[in-house]
Amino acid sequence: MICLWRWCLAVALCSSAAFSQSTYRDPQQRFSLQVPAGWTTAPEPSGLTIARGRAYARLVMVEGRGLASDLVSHFAAEAGKQWKNFQELKRGESQFAGEAGAFAFYNGTNPAGTRAILKITGAAAAGKGYVLILSAPETEFAALRNDLERMESSFSAGGASSGGGSAEKLAALEAAYKAGVLTRDEMEAKRRELAGAALAARNPLAGQQSARAKNPLAAAGGSAPGQNPLSPGARGSGREFQAPDGSFAATLPAGWRARPANPALPSLHAFEPENGGEERILIGAGPSTAGSIQELMQEGVQVVMQLVPGLQPAGQPSYGQIGGAPSAEVRYRGTTGQGVELASWHGILLKDRFYFAVLSLARAEQAGAAEQAARSMYQSMRPARVPENMQLARAIVGRWTFSQGSQSGAGSNRSNAFVSRQITFAVDGRFEYVGGVYVDTSLPGGGGGTGGRDTRYSGTYQIFGNQLRARFDQGGEQVFTLELVQGGGLKLNGDLYIRE
């Protein structure tokens, strides 16, 4: 019998980063995209490389617009000089960076000596050409395809995306497809429509529809966002919960209590039934770089689906306001690998560049009561400014190093790749970063060589709970999740850094 609390614990251990770490924003505000869990980013002057084992996604920006098909052909020709038995499998038109683009699939033996699949997608936007190169070994491509497609569909050219950005709408279409609202053909047709001038009217998440027609909870007998779904007498127990860090206050539902706080996760709070039931409510608060409530909800949906395998949105997110702050909510349903049917409700507020999120999780038969309790806390929530965590800020002062390497091929035809990063946190609230991806290739006859370059950034930082908000001197910002590890380690978005 599954212990539901284990599911909640898995969410709690990661959800402090749920609305921040999954989106990468270029410090120079040239682009943004979602990065699935388990992938490592390495900024480059001309773009970004994202890697996981032997798979990678590489974004390259080039000057000038040109034709999308020409961009794809140019980079394919360059790859063909380095791969063996390189052949084209398929090509066509697609939407990329919110523009009409082109793509092509290839396979062959890559420079590391591994049979692999390569996909090249190109488009022109914001006065530049953008090319995304995705690759994975043939034996791993099917398992990683969803991650690769998520990075591609979420890509947005320029700075922080707006609530009506094309990349967001593409992500919304993908979510609707996964939820069963659209077939694949319908999703592809709507992607093509985004190239037209009337795309806003066709967006299934557009905010101009009526609350009743748009809100899946209202149609099921719930209430629209911003309205209290419970009568005043049923709203809560009257007992107030005040977050220890002062980030918010809320009314505890009748029959619920707060669990003891976890010192390692000061921005997360868990609640359970007083009768010992398995249902759980999680509330988190922290900094967010999302440009809109729609973007924040898209990030949240992706993280919940990653952390609780089997859960899928049971409808489209609905949007509104609570206390003047933009809000969003969505339901999930799914079945675990053990055959247990789960249901969840998820509400988010975005206020003053901070998120406040509520998540319920329960077996299907207890889902109604858990959702009602979670919505009660959500509607009664009174957000405040999240205070800085000065204790953690003092603890990370110093120089930290991360390194990771891998080897492919054998004999005289092999390749060694490694990532190296160094971050220095100063006591005055400034940081310096230097890092890069380096490749050392050995080929028959003594050929090969070493390639790679350093990328450097500097700026200021603040810590809220266990999340670090970095503002770059070059422009832009990003949020990271921190965890101090016994023995002198620091996990930054899951990557282990060692103090020098």
| Strand-by-strand arrangement of the 99-109 sheet | 40-44, 47-52, 55-63, 128-137, 115-125, 99-109, 84-96
Phi and psi at residue 367, to the nearest 5°: -65, -35
Domain count, the chain: 3
Q: Provide the token pair at 368.
A: 């109604």
Does residue 236 share a domain with residue 334? yes
Give the single-character DSSP code of 393.
H
Q: Name residue 97's amino acid.
A: A
351 and 379 belong to one structural domain = yes
Last residue within a domain, chosen from 319, 348, 383: 383
In the block, residue with structure tokens 């049917």: 341
Higher pLDDT, 222 or 282: 282
pLDDT at 374 over 90: yes
350 shares its domain with 461: no
State phi, psi for 474 to the nearest 5 degrees.
-80, -5
- Is 22 contained in some domain? no
Joined together, the tokens standing for residue 335 give: 């079945």
Average confidence (pLDDT) over 72-88: 90
When mean pLDDT is compared across 33-37, 298-302, 366-370, 407-411, the lowest value belongs to 407-411
Going by C-alpha positions, the residue among 292, 50, 15 that lies closest to residue 168 is 292
Examine residue 203 and state whether it is found in any structural domain, yes or no: no
Q: Which of 363, 419, 386 is nearest to 56 (CA)?
A: 419
The answer on 379 and 275 residing in a single domain is yes
Q: Does one domain contain both 357 and 445?
A: no
- The residue whose two tokens read 């709690």 is 12
Considering the domain boundaries, does residue 169 fall inside one? no
Cα separation of 67 and 74, whole Å?
A: 11
Q: What number of other Cβ atoms are within 10 A of residue 85's Cβ?
A: 8
- In the numeric block, which tokens belong to residue 461? 């930082």
217 versus 104: which is more confidently predicted?
104
Mean pLDDT across the stretch 359-385?
Answer: 91
- Tell me: do 229 and 337 sit in the same domain: yes
Region of poorest pLDDT, from 65-74, 159-168, 216-225, 272-281: 216-225
Cα separation values, 468 from 160, 289, 398, 436, 479, Å: 18, 11, 15, 21, 6
How many other CB atoms sit within 10 Å of the CB of residue 265? Answer: 19
What pLDDT does 483 receive? Answer: 86
Whole-number CA gyration radius for the chain: 23
Cα separation, 296 vs 18, in Å, equals 9
The confidence score (pLDDT) of residue 331 equals 94
438, 374: one domain: no
For residues 86, 89, 91, 97, the Cα torsion angle rounded to the nearest 10 degrees is -70
186-209 pLDDT per residue, tens: 665 665 555 343 323 323 223 333
Give the three-class secondary structure for 276: coil
Check whether residue 224 and residue 257 sit in a common domain.
yes
Domain boundary among 350, 383, 416: 383
Residue 141 Ramachandran class (φ > 0 left, ψ -120 to 50 alpha, else beta): alpha
Query: Do residues 431 and 482 both lie within one domain?
Result: yes
Same domain membership, residue 336 and residue 264 = yes
How many angstroms separate the CA atoms of 456 and 254, rounded?
53
Residue 191 belongs to some domain of the structure: no
Q: Is residue 187 part of a domain?
A: no
Q: Dihedral of the CA atoms 90, 96, 101, 103 (nearest 10)? A: -20
pLDDT tier for residue 360 given thresholds of 50, 70 and 90: very high
**What confidence score (pLDDT) does residue 120 get?**
94
Helix (H) or strand (E) holding 392: helix 390-395
Task: Please check whether residues 414 and 307 belong to one and the same domain.
Answer: no
Do 220 and 353 lie in one domain? The reply is yes
- Looking at the predicted structure, is the pLDDT value of residue 1 above 80? no
Range of the domain at 146: 27-158
Output the average pLDDT for the chain.
75
pLDDT 10s digits, 232-275: 333 345 588 988 878 889 999 999 999 876 666 777 888 999 98
Token digits of residue 344:
């969840």
